[in-house]
Chain A
Amino acid sequence: MSGKNDNSLIGFDPLAWMSDDNVDEDGSRQQQQQKVIDEVKDEQVDVEQAPEVIEEFKEVSDVSPQIEDDKSDCKIILESVLNIQNVTVLYDQLLKALESNKPVEIDASAVSIVDTATLQLLAVFKQETVKLLREVSIDFPSDKFIESARLLGLADLLDVEQSAAGFF
């Protein structure tokens, strides 16, 4: 956030991020991604301590680092209730998405309950895809999804902070 000069009647410029954002889009997107990864280490939830299923993601990403030119999207629609009982189903979906080498869109509009295991899984998925320079977006996150992600300090990493009442 940029400051203004001493005589200014505007203490700080709330729009300064727009200029920063343009710089990133022009040339340093990778730096921004790395910054996101670094920041997550300071979050309340230590994603490195997530369940075994998360480690499997890393194994998959290690053996499939190539990026194909195919730009058609891979869509995943999240269920209303996401908990430890069905996290393996989501894991399988994410695994397939990771193997497809396509941009991944995750529709979180219907989510009414989401537990820590699921959010951790999504967080690690996001981390790994960032490392692979793959495009992943969580679209239309519901209020509950955003609220839970914030509670665990994962809203920034999952990029669901800039919401429009459950749309984005």
Chain B
Amino acid sequence: MAERVVAIINQKGGVGKTTTSTNLAYALAREGKKVTVIDLDPQGHLAVSFGVVNPKTNGIDGVMLDESEITQNLVPVRENLQLIVAGPRLQEIEQLTEGGAKRGDLLRRALHENLNDQDFVFIDCPPSSGVLVANALFAADEILIPMTSDFLALQGLSHMMGTIKRFEKVLNKKYKLFLVMSRYVSTRRISKEVLETMLEHFPNQVLATVIRETALLAECPSFGKSILEYRPGSRSARDFRSLAKDFLQGKVM
């Protein structure tokens, strides 16, 4: 298994999971790290963000259904960076009702003794708390939670932390957990209050760099590029380069 398996997770939609997955993975690859990203969201937006747009390409769906090896589904998308797309049948896995606990262990088993040469495996999770997210939590040792600075995101985080603690108890493991402030609007007072609340409950766990909300981040997926490729001199590109360094060094607020 890779050195670090990180689930990028938040059951709330629109908090920047895929944006974080795309740009953090790319920034780390640019730093010379070997990175694999897994698109565990049936919407397949991570693949689109990297310019992979063929919806019929098999991916992690076939691997989890035990029909192919994970190494057969690696798509090299950039130097040092490879992608495993969602695949057209990932939604079927989300709706599995049989198999008990085993249906949550499909991804971990697929990763076992694979991708050993990788520094990082990132799992871009769907905005839900179902079978796919359970698979990510079974497989990962680390969790990165992108958070927007609004009240409902705090409410969602509360629910998700309950789920994570439950997993920790049942799986008898403690996740290394980091949070990143995403889509941050510094001119809003509530942004600062949400950040203060986060720091109160997650001391030494909020990564030092805040990802500010910009129009550019909304534009670059349509060109199949990361922000570092789309507008390398922009403040968003700087944010993600800085975030990558924080992530490597464990630099927190």
**A-side interface residues toward B, CB under 8 Å?**
4, 8-11, 13-15, 17-19, 21, 77, 107, 109-110, 137, 139-140, 142, 162-168
Q: Is the CB of A14 within 8 A of B154?
A: yes
Q: Quote the shortest CB–CB distance from A110 to chain B (angstroms).
A: 6
- A21 CA / B161 CA spacing, docked (Å): 11
Q: Is the CB of B128 within 8 A of A15?
A: no
Q: Is the CB of A10 within 8 A of B151?
A: yes
B190 within 8 A of A: yes
For the complex of A and B, 7 pairs with smallest distance between CB atoms: A165-B130, A14-B158, A162-B162, A109-B100, A168-B166, A9-B190, A15-B201
Chain B interface mostly helix, strand, loop or mixed? Answer: helix
Q: Quote the shortest CB–CB distance from A138 to chain B (angstroms).
A: 10
- Residues of B in contact, count (CB < 8 Å): 32
Which residue of chain B lies nearest to A159 when distances are taken between CB atoms in the complex?
B166
- A140 CA / B97 CA spacing, docked (Å): 11
Q: List 21 A-B contacts (CB under 8 A).
A: A9-B189, A10-B151, A15-B161, A15-B197, A17-B162, A18-B158, A19-B201, A109-B100, A137-B170, A139-B170, A142-B97, A162-B159, A162-B166, A164-B129, A165-B128, A165-B133, A165-B134, A166-B97, A167-B104, A167-B131, A167-B134
Q: Given A9-B189, A162-B163, A166-B97 in contact, is the A15-B130 Cβ separation under 8 Å?
A: no
- A32 CA / B142 CA spacing, docked (Å): 29
Q: Which residues of the partner chain A approach B197 to less than 8 Å between Cβ atoms?
A: 10, 13, 15
Q: Is the CB of A107 within 8 A of B190?
A: no
**B-side interface residues toward A, CB under 8 Å?**
97-98, 100-101, 104, 128-131, 133-134, 151, 154-155, 157-159, 161-163, 165-167, 169-170, 189-190, 193-194, 197, 200-201
Q: Which residues of the partner chain B approach A9 to less than 8 Å between Cβ atoms?
A: 151, 189-190, 193
Q: Quote the shortest CB–CB distance from B92 to chain A (angstroms).
A: 14
Q: Is the CB of B100 within 8 A of A165?
A: no
Q: Quote the shortest CB–CB distance from A34 to chain B (angstroms).
A: 20
Q: Which of B97, B158, B166, B193 contacts A15 (CB 8 A)?
A: B158
Q: Is the CB of B101 within 8 A of A107?
A: yes
Q: Which residues of the partner chain A approach B167 to less than 8 Å between Cβ atoms?
A: 164, 168
Q: Is the CB of B193 within 8 A of A17?
A: no
A-B contacts besides A17-B162, A18-B161, 11 pairs, CB < 8 Å: A10-B151, A10-B190, A10-B197, A11-B151, A21-B165, A110-B100, A140-B100, A164-B134, A164-B166, A165-B129, A166-B97
Q: Is the CB of A164 within 8 A of B193?
A: no
- A163 CA / B128 CA spacing, docked (Å): 12
Q: Which of B157, B158, B169 has most chain A Cβ within 10 Å?
A: B158
- A159 CA / B7 CA spacing, docked (Å): 25
Which residue of chain A lies nearest to B167 when distances are taken between CB atoms in the complex?
A168
Q: Which residues of the partner chain B approach A8 to less than 8 Å between Cβ atoms?
A: 193
Q: Which residues of the partner chain A approach B151 to less than 8 Å between Cβ atoms?
A: 9-11
Q: Is the CB of B157 within 8 A of A168?
A: no
Which residue of chain B lies nearest to A110 when distances are taken between CB atoms in the complex?
B100
Q: Which of B154, B158, B166 contacts A10 (CB 8 A)?
A: B154
Q: Is the CB of B166 within 8 A of A14?
A: no
Q: Given A10-B151, A14-B155, A18-B161 in contact, is the A164-B130 Cβ separation under 8 Å?
A: yes
Q: Which of A18, A77, A163 has most chain B Cβ within 10 Å?
A: A18
Q: Which residues of the partner chain A approach B100 to less than 8 Å between Cβ atoms?
A: 77, 107, 109-110, 140
Q: Which residues of the partner chain B approach A163 to less than 8 Å between Cβ atoms?
A: 163
Q: Quote the shortest CB–CB distance from B183 to chain A (angstroms).
A: 17
Q: Which residues of the partner chain A approach B154 to less than 8 Å between Cβ atoms?
A: 10, 13-15
Q: Is the CB of A10 within 8 A of B170?
A: no
Q: Quote the shortest CB–CB distance from A72 to chain B (angstroms).
A: 13
- A118 CA / B155 CA spacing, docked (Å): 33
Which residue of chain B lies nearest to A14 when distances are taken between CB atoms in the complex?
B158
Q: Quote the shortest CB–CB distance from A75 to chain B (angstroms).
A: 10
